Amino acid sequence: MNHPAPLQCTLSGTVSELPAFFERLEDWAQGHEVPMPLASSFGLMLDELLTNVATHGYGGQGGPVSVQITFDAPATLSAVLRDQGPPFDPTALVAADVEAALEDRHVGGLGVHFVKKLAERFVYRRDGAVNEISVSRTWVAPSPQVSGL
């Protein structure tokens, strides 16, 4: 497998910095020929996770977040996110009941449900005072359809 240089970022744990981070991610993905459907879906996963850190982990006040993203060509992206917020294991959340009527659903959890559905790998661990989340996603190109002769 081909292993291009990872994208490493240190963020301040705020929602306001995320657009600039995602521009940098998009530039990095294009420069490493990451398939756009993979880069887009992976970006949505990271958006959910980083927004949760900023709003819930740091309560909108910010705090250190490190992100390292790797691309294993031709079609796998992986990321490790580390923050110093209170311990929180998103992988342990009860699955969101997407079939329940809106008035019967619990508030929250849909974003993590979304990440769980998209990620091939979604792992949490607490390392001292640090939350660490590892996620990966592999894109499988649709097979060309053969038209009838």
Q: What is the pLDDT of residue 12?
A: 97
**pLDDT bucket at 105, cuts 50 / 70 / 90:** very low
The DSSP H or E segment spanning 136 is strand 130-138
**Given the structure tokens 């709003």, which residue do they identify?**
55
In b/e form, how buried is each residue of 128-143, taking b as 16+ CB within 10 angstroms?
Answer: eeebebbbbbebeeee
Q: In the predicted model, what is the mean pLDDT of the chain?
A: 87
Comparing 30-34, 49-53, 99-103, 135-139, the range with the smallest average pLDDT is 99-103
